Homo-oligomer: A and B are copies of this chain.
Amino acid sequence: MKSFASDNYSGIHPRILEAVVRANNLHEISYGDDTYTLKSNELFNRIFGDTSVLYAFNGTGANVISLKCCLQPFEAVICAETAHINADECGAPTQSTGSSLLTIKTSNGKLAPELIKPFLSRIGNVHNTQPKVISISQSTELGTVYSLKELRALADFAHDNGMYLHVDGARISNAVASLGVGLKEATVDCGVDIMSFGGTKNGLMIGEAVLVFNPELQKNAPFFQKQTAQLFSKNRFIAAQFEEMLKDDLWLEMAQHSNTMAQFLVKKLNEIPEVKITQAVDANAVFAIIPEKAIIPLQKKYRFYIWDEQTREVRWMCSFDTTEEDVIDFAETLKSLI
């Protein structure tokens, strides 16, 4: 079965799997004091500059660790209504931190200083939770990507107002591939304080990394990782995957491929006049409205999600292993159903 449902329907890139197999070599010290974790940490520091690196099992875990590093329970997170932390994590960030999410409706999943300004009036008022983190997803849940300029504007706005900028980077590789710049240039150099670096949705079996750039957030991070049940005893098996992904830009190769497949899908869809693409296709997601009658028959062959029950907007995700043949067959199937 192939699908366009999610990049987490895909499996493991062969090179990543080989790295796991290679790491299965006698005993290693547990809880991250192993040689694989050491090497992976070094690669992260070579790429991003000085950073604390903490591994997590999944995106929710990585987000919870990141937010805990930033927040007192009376402080709040500003995010888009579509943010994964708000829409897809069963309230984990709120339950784990005690903090409230202050959500903003957006058309394209992206925040901007203008949208956040109204919350500044809360600052200092003891009856209100206090805005402390601006949390964005890069790329967003709507497949859009913040430009470097947009990122810098958000980081500056955050810092000018005593807040941190957090990036949910479950798909940071797709975003950076789309921007065509370096990882550091697209993150810490823009002023990001703390972020997750996603692995699972870009060819890894399992694993996310929390990168803590801001030194004042680093000290408590290992304790939050442990208390959030995200510290892995056999961490070599996550670290070996990251090492393989980072050492010669496999992350980029996979992300570029996913993005290219999304562009190829757009091209094919443009040949079908009844299909209306609804969001900028900056990364590996395509959002569209298609004739109602085609949805269920198409889902029978290729799984995908109806994103919005009201508008009947659908979402198609491309993965590192999506092929041109998959896209062609998918588009032809859709055409035949309309």
Contact = CB atoms under 8 A, between A and B. Distances in A.
Interface of A: 1-3, 5-6, 8-12, 17, 20-21, 23-31, 56-61, 64, 68, 72-74, 76, 87-92, 94-96, 98-101, 118, 121, 126-130, 200-201, 205-206, 220, 222-234, 237, 303, 309-310, 319, 321
Contacts of A129: 90-91
Given A20-B205, A90-B127, A130-B223, A229 B64 contact: yes
A29 B5 contact: yes
A12 B17 CA distance: 14
B30 A6 contact: yes
A25 B275 CA distance: 31
A86 to B, nearest CB: 9
A129 B230 CA distance: 16
A73 B95 contact: yes
Contacts of A228: 92, 229
Nearest to A103: B103
Contacts of A98: 91, 94-95, 98
A100 B99 contact: no
B91 A74 contact: yes
* Interface of A (DSSP majority class): loop
Contacts of A76: 91
Given A229-B60, A232-B57, A127 B89 contact: yes
Given A29-B303, A57-B232, A90-B129, 18 more contacts: A2-B27, A8-B234, A21-B21, A27-B319, A57-B58, A73-B95, A74-B91, A74-B95, A74-B226, A89-B127, A89-B226, A89-B227, A94-B99, A95-B98, A100-B100, A201-B233, A206-B232, A206-B237
Contacts of A5: 27, 29-30
B58 A231 contact: yes
A61 B229 contact: yes
A26 B11 contact: yes
Nearest to A59: B233
B227 A230 contact: no
A92 B58 CA distance: 17
B9 A205 contact: no
Contacts of A229: 56-58, 60-61, 64, 89, 92, 96, 228-230
A130 to B, nearest CB: 7
A92 B65 CA distance: 13
A196 to B, nearest CB: 12
A92 to B, nearest CB: 5
A74 to B, nearest CB: 4
Contacts of A309: 121
A299 to B, nearest CB: 12
12 contacts: A1-B28, A2-B26, A6-B30, A11-B234, A27-B303, A29-B303, A57-B229, A58-B229, A72-B223, A88-B128, A94-B98, A126-B222
Contacts of A31: 126-127
